Amino acid sequence: MADSPYLPGNILSLAGAAADRLLEAGSGDGALLYLYLLKTGGSYQSAAAARVLRWEPARAEAALSLLCKLELARAPEAAPAAPAVPEPPEYTSADINRELENEASSFPALVTEVQKRLGKVLSTNDLKCLYTIYDFTGLPAEVILLAVSWTIEEHQRKYGPGRMPRLPQIQREAIRWKERGVDTVEGAEAHLKRLALLRERSTQILALLDIRDRPPVAREKEYITTWVDMGFTDEAIRMAYERTVLKKRSLNWPYMNSILQSWHQKGLHTAEQIAAGDSQRPRRAAPGAGATAPQPAAPGEADRRAREDMERMRALLRQEKEGK
């Protein structure tokens, strides 16, 4: 990218080759981000670009990825490796007993509450895990209790009522909260709302993918979280799934994700937008044909076509199943 993109009069210049690549790609997000890069002299920071363009960071990253593929931008240099996360110290029984006898400490009350919630007396190793959470992370006792409750709820959801997680599992979850900056009661409540939303959406999205007998595994959760953050409707996700099955004969998570990433780069997040986005691409007139431009879809036409497309896909899927 040129050092100075400006012509006299403070006018931005755009190379013809760059314009051709952007038009061929058909990505509005890519074009907007390219203009942003021109204006900033090629400087890219995800948070700054997302703020100026009023996008979610994931949307800015998807647009940058497209520009890199078009060779219109370079990926930012990798940040220096983060320092290694320190290992928690090896606490002794003497450390724990001293804290339990400290009248100013909230640790004794925390132990009592955790024992109530787990329905057992904590062993020496359990107490070491809990004290590691308390002392090593520095999380308030209230936040630790919220992390304990969430871990219990998730464990029972996965393994059945009455099943309790072990303290090392709770410790790992609490450390994740700390690493994500969830270190206040308000922050923990907001984090729990997001986790609950993602859990509910995960169940709904798995049902859209014809998976109803199990919770998602870790990698599937990552895909689902990405799609939720991108703002796709259920119909759009189902359309991507059906296209995936038609192409791959079964659910293929990376392939389905590539479809949704492509739609996201074009700003298409509903069935109506997807149908309209496909139908409104400019078409070249045949030699000698009249100059009449294609007419835009009438109100409600895109919605009707989207439903018809989905019905056709479902019919094909039924035929595939019956033919097996």
Q: How far apart are CA 116 and CA 130, in angstroms?
A: 14
**CA distances (Å), origin 217, targets 199, 204, 224:** 12, 15, 11
pLDDT of residue 258: 92
pLDDT of residue 305: 37
The residue extents of the domains of the chain are 6-69, 93-183, 194-277+300-323
**CA distances (Å), origin 16, targets 20, 21, 35:** 6, 9, 14
- Mean pLDDT in runs of 10 for the chain (324 residues)? 48 76 84 83 74 79 85 69 68 94 93 95 95 94 94 90 94 93 92 90 93 87 92 94 93 93 91 77 39 35 38 43 50
pLDDT of residue 157: 86
Q: How far apart are CA 250 and CA 235, in angstroms?
A: 18
> Helix, strand, or coil here: 7?
strand
What is the pTM for the complete model shown?
A: 0.55
CB atoms within 10 A of CB 35: 15
Closest CA to 171 of 131, 218, 142: 131
